[in-house]
Structure 1
């Protein structure tokens, strides 16, 4: 099961919507939250563990007000890895101010179960050995590599606009840029954003959700409609930690056919709960989380 956590004043409309959605596949249930929960979201989500356990739910999506989609509100966001007495669950966040906006986002749940057998994954990185080595280890026939020795800014930006499926980046990042390919700034990425939303954007890099930028590059990319979800960090993640996370992510993805990104994250976490909870909680998952993890 999968939980959708939303403001209590949307509950009636959301229940009707979920009944229709579950007529196709009974996977979803609603959890209404009071407005008072917004100032202590981690305390509130911690209190949901037993309910999710009863429902056998291992992932959830929480709707937050749109003014929370800002760097200076990140400290109010609930963590990616949530826990209860019998295990962990994954929490993604999304932003909406009205039920109409929320319903439009949730309608994506009707098309995320498409056939992903032919889905492409696009591998990009900064031109430094740790990152180029990771890209090399991820290469296979379904993954398209954009080696930074072959692609410059004027080459990679048009390529990004044509990407379909998943986009993965390794390297350094900041609140207003990815530092690979001669620095890809927010405005440049938005100019060349994908014409059809990507299945996922996975940025294994530092601070693309930097708090000092009201609309940092990760939020801007997601809110432009370029991707159904984005995995991005608020912190200066240690290079070796990111390398370890990437290696285990890839290893776990090999055996995750038909699984979603939250299911894959849980598999990574199970490898070493203490180590990977620390690494993963430097990241957030924004957007519809139940897209295919097949990369």
Structure 2
């Protein structure tokens, strides 16, 4: 049995250009159920976490402004979304989804996946790039607070095409969380933060070289000289595809699937619990986005079922 967090698609008042990529949150669970990769029993609907859990990561003033519709104009522009109560509710709920996944992965020693999440551009005190609250950072801090004996070292593997700048900044001075980002060198954000390890990739990089670089670094991250993790977060953005409008890399769908096999297979062999969040995907065809995300779930199901 897999554990999959499904955040209901709250009705958001979005400009037309924002609605298309949001469709994947509805279509992906439908695809997984249709093909039999997941069953209805694999899904859980999360609830927002207690505010105290959010405040382990995010500044109180910023969270108050977000929840009460008091974001400044610059903050709202940086977020990429017009504020609404539904948006605030969704952001809090997806945090609950990733924390819920952490609980389930830790209990089973296996994998749990959040249909939403991967909001790695959110900083402690400000939004950026369609990310308002940083779900993997909040969930990692939940682990550090509630499971300090079982989980002494956390690894965040961020393979979205955009650097996880918010996550890197949040954990800059936290040695118990190792942040790794492998991303497009010339892509958003223009100003990168320093992760514990960054691999910046040139435009147009294809399957062979991408997978070679990942194969080389994974053993060092998963029990090698860089990190000795007890728990792994994996951000599996599919904006690395050649079809992506914003990515500028050149992976095929098969290459993207192989990437997931490398990461999840390595975690499985080492018996490491892992939580996966979907991250970005902006291909012209929604089918390309959904199919690439679905491959992540298929890989997880093949390993842990």
Question: TM (normalized to structure 2)?
Answer: 0.33
| Higher percent of residues as strand | 1
